[in-house]
Amino acid sequence: MTRGAEAATARAGAHGAGTPPRQKVVLYNPHALFYTMPLALLAIGSHLDRERFEVVIVDARLEADPHGALAAALDHALCVGVTVLTGAPIRDALDASRMAKRLHPTLPIVWGGWHPSMFGRECLVDPAIDVTVQGQGEETFADLVDRFARGVSLDGCAGITFRDGAGTTVANPPRPVRPVDAFAPHDYSLIPVERYFALKGKRQLDYISSQGCNFRCAFCADPFVYERQWVGLSPGRMVDELASLWERHRFDDVNFQDETFFTRAGRVEAIAQGFVDARLPITWAGTMRADQGVRLPEPSLALCRRSGLRRALIGVESGSDEMLRRIKKDTRIAQVFESAEKIHRHGISGNFPFIVGFPGESDDSVQASLDAAKRLRGISPDFQTPFFYFKPYPGTEITEAVVKDGFSTAQTLDEWAAFDFVGNVGGPWVSDEKFARIERFKYFQQVAWDRAPLWRRPLQQIARWRCAGDRYSLPLEMWIDRALWPAPRLS
């Protein structure tokens, strides 16, 4: 019998005649920037048999004392599930798990999400973690919790890696990706929806309508974790769910957190038609690849707009076709402009993120990205072009290639926790000089094209002149502006 199963059996026995009718499963979302609703925990918590299990979600982002809140939730718990992204969230996930283990040494602690999906075995080196879940979590977690409750072995539980009773790490076979329609609807009553609205400063619901992605970008972990599979909710179910959620929560906007919302054009059309038919008074935003935007028929885009589409997020990544080929984006820069013009014609705003600092990226390639951003910004003041620096996230083809070439990446969980290089650096492949140039461009393109009050118009003209000729030296305005209004650093 595994340690987790032993622990669960001991706990079930301990309550005796006073055993509560439902056993408590505690889920923890580590501290993070932004207040996106904890959709992963909603997914796995909602899919548990609620007649048998009480689900308690502790979101560190909502608590003044997150570990105190977690500790308070742990009494009589059957197990704890923690969702873990690579980088800074690992720090809190680790601290919280270690604290839980210290207080309840026999309580099984399960890690799931993107980092444990890629490093199932490595995470288990830390004695605070008993089980890791790889990939889609709904069925795997339901299976695990059921086994904990019945006190049976974890052998054969597909999709997990665990330490068995003898302390040996065992990786069970993967669990095939299931269609998401097979899973229970996300039960938003598990979270204080109004608190998220208040913290976001808007009545915006986060919703996920699909998992995975069919594409193969070499900088992204999705092809590794989902093996290029994509599964989406049926439009009818989505519209019904969102209509009933709207009745309860009266949100103004839905932010679809899908990797690629526009994966199936016919499905998106049916969803948009459903919103129109249900007269849902909402706006919405979703992710769209540039090639999908090009292929989407004009009437479909018009329907999306009518149904409330306010913004499309189109990952540009690079302004250089050569770089786009290298990173296997399978789009061309011309398609980005075509999609941009198209959404602009329909009054839809756009977010066009770029990544700079790929290993070995040339100055010309970076310049092509700056030029593409300028052209996009010139189309509409409602187009944003954020720039991010390439980070060698695990599970991506580029990272594997640089590691093969001798680049040493983080090994331990503590090292992965410190992996985010937020601050005055652009990463291993960006010189200080290039970093300064890109940072200045980031500032000036915002001043040049963001909507500005009258008093900032002269500054705007200077910024446009700077961008037009790539004149970023002696950025006096930037230094003064930044000294007066320091910008938050997100990446």
Provide the binding-site residues for ligand B12, judged by CB under 6 A.
29, 32-34, 36, 38-40, 43-44, 81-83, 85-89, 110, 112-115, 117, 133, 136-138, 141, 208, 211, 220-222, 257-259, 388, 393, 420, 491
**CB-based contact 225:117 (threshold 8 Å):** yes
Is 301 a residue that touches ligand SF4 (CB under 6 A)? Answer: no
Q: Residue 113's binding partner, choosing from ligand B12, ligand SF4, none, with beta-carbon cut-off 5 to 8 A by kind?
A: ligand B12
Q: For residues 142 and 459, which CB has a smaller minimum distance to ligand B12 in the complex?
A: 142
Q: For residues 112 and 120, which CB has a smaller minimum distance to ligand B12 in the complex?
A: 112
**CB-based contact 260:287 (threshold 8 Å):** yes
Q: Could you identify the residue written with the tokens 């048998």?
A: 52
Q: Residue 96, exposed/middle/buried by CB under 10 A (0-12, 13-18, 19+)? A: buried
Q: Residue 177's binding partner, choosing from ligand SF4, ligand B12, none, with beta-carbon cut-off 5 to 8 A by kind?
A: none
> DSSP for 321-343?
HHHHHHTT----HHHHHHHHHHH
CA distance 236 to 207: 15
Options 260, 307, 399, 445; binder of ligand SF4; rule CB under 6 A: 260
Give residues 134-193 in contact with ligand SF4 (rule: CB under 6 A): none
CA distance 394 to 43: 24
Q: Residue 223's binding partner, choosing from ligand B12, ligand SF4, none, with beta-carbon cut-off 5 to 8 A by kind?
A: ligand SF4
CA distance 471 to 491: 24
Read off the amino acid at residue 465: W
Q: Residue 260's binding partner, choosing from ligand SF4, ligand B12, none, with beta-carbon cut-off 5 to 8 A by kind?
A: ligand SF4
Assigned token pair, 52: 């048998």
Read off the amino acid at residue 226: Y
- Shortest spacing between CB 439 and ligand B12, in angstroms: 16
Give residues 212-231 in contact with ligand SF4 (rule: CB under 6 A): 213, 215, 217, 220, 222-223
Q: Residue 398's binding partner, choosing from ligand B12, ligand SF4, none, with beta-carbon cut-off 5 to 8 A by kind?
A: none
* Position of minimal CB gap to ligand B12: 112
**CB-based contact 83:38 (threshold 8 Å):** yes
Give residues 195-214 in contact with ligand SF4 (rule: CB under 6 A): 213
**CB-based contact 318:355 (threshold 8 Å):** yes
